[in-house]
Chains A and B, each alone.
Chain A
Amino acid sequence: MNYLDQLESESIHIMREVAGQFERPALLFSGGKDSITLVHLALKAFRPGKLPFPLVHIDTGHNFQEVLNFRDKLAAQIGEKLIVRHVEDTIREKKLKEPTGRNATRNGLQTFTLLDAIEEWEFDACIGGARRDEEKARAKERVFSVRDEFGSWDPKRQRPELWNLYNGRIHKGENVRVFPISNWTELDVWNYIRREKIELPSIYFAHERELLIRDGKLMATAGGVIKPEADDQVVRRNVRFRTVGDISCTAASESKAATLDSVIAEIQATRISERGETRMDDQLSEAAMEDRKKGGYF
């Protein structure tokens, strides 16, 4: 069997385990290619039935408008429930202090909103699109990753996970993060998107936009999220985004690749990893991701 078929089947199996083992699961949807792939896999797993979970988006308020539009269109197209919770509301209600300064990002505050949403809807499982090839701490995480009531991941207390047997039994208040595409690489996702003709938000393809150059990275000026400072150079460039996250911490790649084939060709040729090229939030320290996961992050 072709490897993409194997990966697809493994992911569908994991999704159906979630549906079979949990009372109130949710699929965390960011509008990025990985979570769009998850939705596609979920449709394959459950159609012609309805999805046994809603799509949940934790909106930092710093998302690309193209992505938000795409999110709403997709949810409407498939006729499934979409729940959106806003980091801004959490900041107001909980009187959180917003990070300020040069490279400030709300990415860290997302965790609070996510935990609130989990509590509000009593979600016992949250499906996410993280992959083990993304980052070295993720490379260590189980497919069913049990989190305590604070959402914390404890790498030293991971459950054994054997064959294709997943143990989703939890105590009240705990929840499980489930990663159906754990074993996919960035290129697998792209190749699958091409094979399945999955539609993506336009910002994944080369387009011209205004950006500023900061610390050698191209950051979008869209929405006024990043405020230009004196030594930032504002430019117009042809770019595409290799990952899509919060505007404040997702860098663009200079590119002329306007089709899926040319995007894939570029990604195949690059010598820089996905997170290395695009994510500012992982470059703070060697264990940045591990620490955020322990704090309840995805």
Chain B
Amino acid sequence: MDLLRFITAGSVDDGKSTLIGRLLYDSKSILTDQLEAIERASKSRNDGSIDLALLTDGLRSEREQGITIDVAYRYFQTPKRKFIIVDAPGHIQYTRNMVTGASNCQLAIVLVDARLGVVEQTRRHSLIASLLGIPHLVVAINKMDLVGYSQDVYSDICIHYADLAKKLNAHQVTYIPMSALNGDNVVDRSTSMPWYEGPTLLDHLETVAINDESDGEPLDRHPARFPVQYVIRPQTAELHDYRGYAGKITSGLFRKGDSITILPSGATSTIEAIEVAEKHLDEAATPQSVILHLATDIDISRGDLIVRTERLPVTSQTVEAMLCWMDTKELKTGSKYILQVGTFRTRCSVREIAYQLNIETYEQIEGIDNLKLNDMAKVTLRTAQPISFDPYPKNRTTGGAILIDETSNVTVGALMLMGEV
């Protein structure tokens, strides 16, 4: 059985939490005591009808305010597939939490309130999904019950959204009209919208192809990447010369005998053995965690990147990136941070903000020299040591990086590395 991670996005009150509650409820993934607990909580709150949103709004302040502040993870499975649901907040001030949740997802559901159509938040969430390279997009046109299940309303919203999708270069967009509250087209097919012939949401989630990158190439044609996390050296009498490089293959496939290059040093060697749980394999592929042994003794430590020599990544000290700023303290041109890509950390400074992206109109605003919480921008960075990466649109795992504030130690920025300058 395989695993799909998806995120739900939409503005406040579009019905995200209700939709998740509905998915869990109709797929019988809510257990009796959990249901009783939210029934009790619902009673003390409003008109007494059960509020499925209480299933995911797990923090006290969230339940008090009736909003989602941070990402909640939910798990369910059907006979066909396992799912991890990432319920993300819709408020603009919690955009960074949505970005956190979106980074690992293969599909995003963007909710649209049928009465309101495409609004600012729809544009913002669609932009984040697209910047973070989520390959599949579902536009869930919700609250159809409040517009008389009208096909015209649905079609208008589809046309309107298609325009926006074109600007974002989003390829795989699926439109589904639904009522999360009543359960139309979530798990069960709606009887109120006979004009809709597409899949229900769950049908779609169960059958959509899970591919992390959009290019669909076979695995061994992907660049092979292995950031070294830890060096295993038992140094016991019988394992005196044992030296294994532990890490996770973040892209592609390695075979015994492959010629490899170690970055940033550029040293070369070949793979002598691939070890998993004290057994030897002839090959291993992403996302396996393995131990690599090399034919020659070279100095390798945490932070180094082992790659197959036939396809080298970009290695540079001056790079361009899309940046999502995540700190309340402003970023100013010239500021210095720690950059982490894979397991490698180095200091860097922000040389230039090429433009800031207006996250609602997608306009590029030039002449900016500082960024505030949740701003998106194209930046140029200069790093203290060269960094190795693949452009993010080609590889989400090896092209993603974070910025860490040296004094507060907090993660302050998410970088989608684009290329060298």
Binding site for B on A (CB under 8 A): 1-3, 5-10, 12-13, 16-17, 19-20, 44-50, 52, 132-133, 135-140, 155-156, 158-165, 167, 169-171, 182-183, 185, 270-273, 276-277, 286-287, 290
Question: Cβ of B277: which chain A residues have Cβ within 8 Å of it?
Answer: 44, 47
Question: Cβ of B298: which chain A residues have Cβ within 8 Å of it?
Answer: none
For residue B104, give the distance in angstroms from its CB to the closest CB of chain A: 6
| Given A17-B229, A139-B56, CB of A165 within 8 Å of CB of B400 | yes
Number of interface residues of B (CB under 8 A): 67
Q: Pick the contact of B411 from A49, A160, A185, A270 — CB < 8 Å?
A: A160
| Given A12-B289, A13-B289, A287-B60, CB of A48 within 8 Å of CB of B70 | no
Question: Cβ of B71: which chain A residues have Cβ within 8 Å of it?
Answer: 140
How many A-B contacts are there with CB distance less than 8 Å?
A: 167
B33 touches A273 (CB 8 A): yes
- State the main secondary structure of chain B at its contact with A: mixed
- Interface assignment of B242: CB less than 8 Å from any CB of chain A: yes
Q: Which of A16, A155, A273, A290 has the most CB of B within 10 A?
A: A16
Binding site for A on B (CB under 8 A): 1-3, 31-34, 37, 41, 55-61, 63, 69-75, 82, 84, 96-97, 99-100, 103-104, 229-230, 232-234, 239, 242, 244, 246-248, 250, 276-278, 287-289, 302, 326, 338, 340-343, 396-397, 400-402, 404, 409-411, 414
Distance between Cα atoms of A45 and B69 in the complex (Å): 34
Apart from A13-B248, A139-B58, A160-B402, 18 more pairs, CB < 8 Å: A2-B1, A7-B3, A12-B248, A20-B343, A47-B277, A49-B234, A133-B74, A137-B58, A138-B58, A155-B61, A156-B69, A162-B402, A169-B404, A271-B32, A276-B32, A276-B33, A286-B37, A290-B59
Q: Pick the contact of B287 from A9, A132, A185, A273 — CB < 8 Å?
A: A9
Question: Cβ of B56: which chain A residues have Cβ within 8 Å of it?
Answer: 136, 139
Question: Cβ of A140: which chain B residues have Cβ within 8 Å of it?
Answer: 58-59, 70-73
B60 touches A276 (CB 8 A): no
A159 touches B411 (CB 8 A): yes
Question: Cβ of A156: which chain B residues have Cβ within 8 Å of it?
Answer: 61, 69-70
B230 touches A273 (CB 8 A): no
Question: Cβ of B242: which chain A residues have Cβ within 8 Å of it?
Answer: 48
Question: Cβ of A44: which chain B residues have Cβ within 8 Å of it?
Answer: 276-277
CB-based nearest A residue for B246: A16
A161 touches B33 (CB 8 A): no
CB-based nearest A residue for B32: A271
| Given A20-B229, A162-B400, CB of A167 within 8 Å of CB of B58 | no
Q: Pick the contact of A277 from B1, B33, B75, B343 — CB < 8 Å?
A: B33
Distance between Cα atoms of A224 and B242 in the complex (Å): 51
**Interchain Cβ contacts under 8 Å between A and B, 15 examples:** A3-B3, A45-B289, A47-B277, A133-B74, A139-B72, A139-B73, A160-B99, A162-B99, A162-B400, A162-B414, A165-B340, A276-B34, A277-B33, A287-B60, A290-B58
- The list of the 10 closest CB pairs from A to B, nearest first, reads A136-B58, A276-B33, A169-B409, A162-B103, A12-B289, A16-B229, A49-B232, A3-B3, A163-B400, A9-B289
A10 touches B99 (CB 8 A): no
Question: Cβ of B31: which chain A residues have Cβ within 8 Å of it?
Answer: 270-273, 276
CB-based nearest B residue for A44: B277
| Given A2-B1, A19-B230, A48-B278, CB of A160 within 8 Å of CB of B32 | no
CB-based nearest A residue for B405: A169
B37 touches A48 (CB 8 A): no
